[in-house]
Amino acid sequence: MLTIDEAHGRVTVHHADGTAEEHALDTPEAFEAVSAAWLRCGWDVKYVYGFTWMGRPVIQLPEDMIRIQEVIWRVRPDVIVETGVAHGGSLVFYASLFEAMDHGRVIGIDIEIRRHNRIAIEAHPLASRITLIQGSSAAPGTLAAVRHGIAPGESVLVVLDSNHSRAHVAAELDLFAPLVTPGSYIVACDGIMAQLAGAPRTAPDWTWNNPVAAVDAFLAHNPDFVLEEPGFPFNEGAVRSRVTYWPKCFLKRR
């Protein structure tokens, strides 16, 4: 439980064992505690369902989009492969970054690309930078179609944002990791599931059936990849860690 005393500038974290920690409101510890409560509250009220990017719904935490933008700017991949299309907002977001950099394109994969979403994405001003592939992101045939769209020598960054079960993310990691070029990343989204079990719109098995569990298993058997927080390229504040729905998500190929 969290108690915020704005009048006295204090935050108190009450633990299940009866102990408590008190922090001044202007400390990193207070920010982290309040952020954790805010993330949970945001999940409950579906905060991420209220944003668009250049006209398309983008069901992502804005903080995560800004952070991955920093990574994309640094890595400058030729191709971003994203599993999970939904309304196409994140595809358009990545395409807009490539448009600004005058370089790059996006391949979006989904087991079902609904007709109205496909029409809207293909009619978008940035459609020339987007390729859509319909199929299961865990199927070898889908991977073959993606490989066909990547030229020899092109650098690749992969974002996994489809079915977030442990088994599905594990299959995606195994399939798509070989596409990632050295120095680039495979990003496993929505690991916050592990912290949300018991909240509305969750399942009890989320404590273990989540992307972070798949990441841990993958890293244990794939020494070519390392979990690497990208760090803040600019930080004049006291914040020490990302406010994110994507903990333990950035897997960098050595």
Q: Tens digit of pLDDT for each residue in 188-223?
A: 999 999 999 999 999 999 999 999 999 999 999 999
CA distances in angstroms from 194 to 38, 189, 203, 209, 249, listed in the order given? 16, 12, 10, 8, 13
pLDDT, position 216: 98
CA 8 to chain centre: 36
pLDDT, position 203: 97
From first CA to last CA, the distance across the chain in angstroms is 40
CA distances in angstroms from 109 to 61, 86, 208, listed in the order given? 20, 10, 25
pLDDT, position 50: 98
Which pTM was predicted? 0.96
129-138: pLDDT as tens digits: 999 999 999 9
Categorize the per-residue pLDDT at 152 as very low, low, confident or very high, splitting at 50, 70 and 90: very high
91 CB contacts (<8 Å, ≥6 apart)? 56, 82, 85, 106, 108, 121, 130
Q: Which amino acid, one-letter code, is at 23?
A: H
One of 3.40.50.150, 3.40.640.10, 3.40.50.300, 3.40.50.1980 is the CATH number of 51-253, namely 3.40.50.150
pLDDT, position 62: 98
* Sign of torsion over alpha carbons 159, 143, 86, 216: negative
Categorize the per-residue pLDDT at 84 as very low, low, confident or very high, splitting at 50, 70 and 90: very high
Q: Report how far residue 170's alpha carbon sits from residue 31's, in angstroms, rounded to the nearest whole number.
A: 33
Q: What are phi and psi of 185, to 5 degrees?
A: -130, 155
Across the chain, mean pLDDT equals 97
33-66: pLDDT as tens digits: 999 999 999 999 999 999 999 999 999 999 999 9
Categorize the per-residue pLDDT at 187 as very low, low, confident or very high, splitting at 50, 70 and 90: very high
pLDDT, position 33: 95
Domain locations along the chain: 2-44, 51-253
Which two three-digit tokens encode residue 96? 């807009």
pLDDT, position 29: 96
Categorize the per-residue pLDDT at 85 as very low, low, confident or very high, splitting at 50, 70 and 90: very high
